[in-house]
Structure 1
């Protein structure tokens, strides 16, 4: 077996391996690293394992840089899970070992949806909420509790509409996204990042916008497509339209698309058990799956010791951020967001 750094010429074979792997997800496709490079100038160092001329494992990595803190290797930044895909635990271990060596003493972080057979203790108590999909949206709708079915149908009865497309909807999505992130007290990604993701994923991406009866955007989201699993990295709704439940129509639109197009699972993304987003995703029938985040060198004890202090600082910053005008929060946030790997 040989491990090497993949080039753009390897993209078709890489993507085919990811698409066919039972644990593969859309973030592991070549497009994520391409978007990171295009929007934020960060280089990929994707590792490819081959045996007898055929791919037997991949590990997507990005060289992440923060001023005054140096570089680290992350699989992957800006999402819940990247990590290694391999034909065997042995190949996976070899890929991880190669990545740690490539980091050359700097941090190497692997965010995985599957547990490694070796490595430091995982660094998160977060879970990934995964819904196994039936064949067709009619069966999916029939399986929902009556209260949830009513919440899905109500926005349509009230005159809300939804449009699904691609690049032509990005700027409308971004207006909703930026306002929602300000309300949450979090810096927003740059518009260039969103445009890059949508452009690089091309046919493996969909953008949807929910409109009020008056034609105002009320909610918007983006899904990324793997041959088996649909992932939703971003979904936002404007608080002033909460009474219309646009978020329910947005998620149902994506779920309906996934079920009707033969996808096996819908990945709602990262949540903390017991919190509001966890309960929202759970009501659709999504089940928690552990997320395994590993870091070399292993400094889990240090991270845990500083957890309360860091949480307090985040809450203070979030409170200040929520008071900023949306244009200012967007302008500042889009400049600093590239340095926040989550």
Structure 2
């Protein structure tokens, strides 16, 4: 018999949850229980983490977080601020039980919609798909020379150029530098930034699973990326560069050095994350030689008449994006967190 239970957040159960996530093939870094703490502590969102039991054993998990905003709507999402989500389970029966429970919960909460960020599509008849993103990943070769040789020719030339520049890098826990660079980078793109505390909490909650690689030019940080580690994977997650990074090729240097560093530390897979199909970031990742794999984000509409469109490509956001790009950096850092908490 499959029993679906709501996770109550005690330490013993969290350890059991995470132990299951570690060994379940369908689970990802973003299924770890720490994301519940991040969402509740940093953003004040309500978590509805569900798990399935058979006897005393966990046989499936479904992290869900409720977001409610007058501007962006009311949603139940697996999982905000994460590229992957949905059910991780032992088999299809467990998956269906958890999805049924999620749909029932979405109806009970009277949300606009339920969103499951699946890597693999579900066959649940009440879920509809909106496939607008792809993710990029590849195995890390045995040494720096082999990693570089595996990169497409044009991108390889860019990396070789960066290796001749006066660039150095370090790997540490400096989330402050990562945030400062990232916040300026996303302001320049017209995107509200997360609160500084978010980066701090990611490092505190995930500990050894999280670090920062920062590239310096003549002693000054110019590019930085906050990374996650899970099983055999390294996942560069929040990266950016100052305006001079383009000329210095320091972002290219940064991602290449992260691959080399991760391989040296025993990791074998590089997950470059998601990008909106045919966007600039999508094309950039393809230039490295990685092939896109479609993500299968699936929805159950509850009160909403149609699927949400919070994409920056939505024409109604273009004026806002252009105005945001002109804000002083300190203003964008002050105002961004009030909006970004609903845009994860």
* TM-score, normalising length: structure 1: 0.91
SS at match of 2:234: strand
Q: Which residue of 2 aligns with 1:252?
A: 256
Aligned pairs (5 A) from 1:82-161: 82-103=85-106, 104=108, 105-106=110-111, 107-118=113-124, 119-161=126-168
CA contact (8 A) 1:28 1:60 kept: yes
Match of 1:317 among 316, 320, 327: 320
CA contact (8 A) 2:183 2:193 kept: yes
2:30 corresponds to 1:3: no
Closer, same or farther in 2 for the Cα pair 1:307/1:337, shift >3 Å? closer
Q: When the two structures are aligned, how many residues end up with a matched partner?
A: 337
Report the aligned-residue RMSD: 2.4
- In 2, Cα distance between the equivalents of 1:100 and 1:268? 31
Closer, same or farther in 2 for the Cα pair 1:284/1:241, shift >3 Å? closer
- In 2, Cα distance between the equivalents of 1:83 and 1:281? 25
CA contact (8 A) 1:189 1:337 kept: yes
CA contact (8 A) 2:158 2:249 kept: yes
Shift of 1:317: 0.7
Give deviations 1:195-253, integer Å, cap 9, x for gaps. Answer: 1111111111111111112x121111111111033222211011233110010111112
SS at match of 2:15: helix
Aligned pairs (5 A) from 1:169-184: 169-184=174-189
Q: Which residue of 1 aligns with 2:224?
A: 220
Aligned pairs (5 A) from 1:1-342: 1-6=2-7, 7-8=9-10, 9-67=12-70, 71-103=74-106, 104=108, 105-106=110-111, 107-118=113-124, 119-166=126-173, 169-213=174-218, 215-297=219-301, 302-303=306-307, 311-340=314-343, 342=344
- In 1, Cα distance between the equivalents of 2:86 and 2:310? 24
Shift of 1:191: 0.3
Q: Which moved more, 1:102-111 or 1:63-72?
A: 63-72
Shift of 1:307: 8.6
* TM-score, normalising length: structure 2: 0.90
- In 2, Cα distance between the equivalents of 1:198 and 1:68? 30
Closer, same or farther in 2 for the Cα pair 1:199/1:238, shift >3 Å? same
- In 1, Cα distance between the equivalents of 2:247 and 2:207? 34
Closer, same or farther in 2 for the Cα pair 1:125/1:308, shift >3 Å? closer
CA contact (8 A) 2:175 2:226 kept: no
Q: Which moved more, 1:255-264 or 1:116-125?
A: 255-264
- In 1, Cα distance between the equivalents of 2:71 and 2:196? 25
- Return 5+ residue gaps in structure 2 as ranges: none
Give deviations 1:75-101, integer Å, cap 9, x for gaps. Answer: 001222211101111111110111111
Shift of 1:134: 3.3
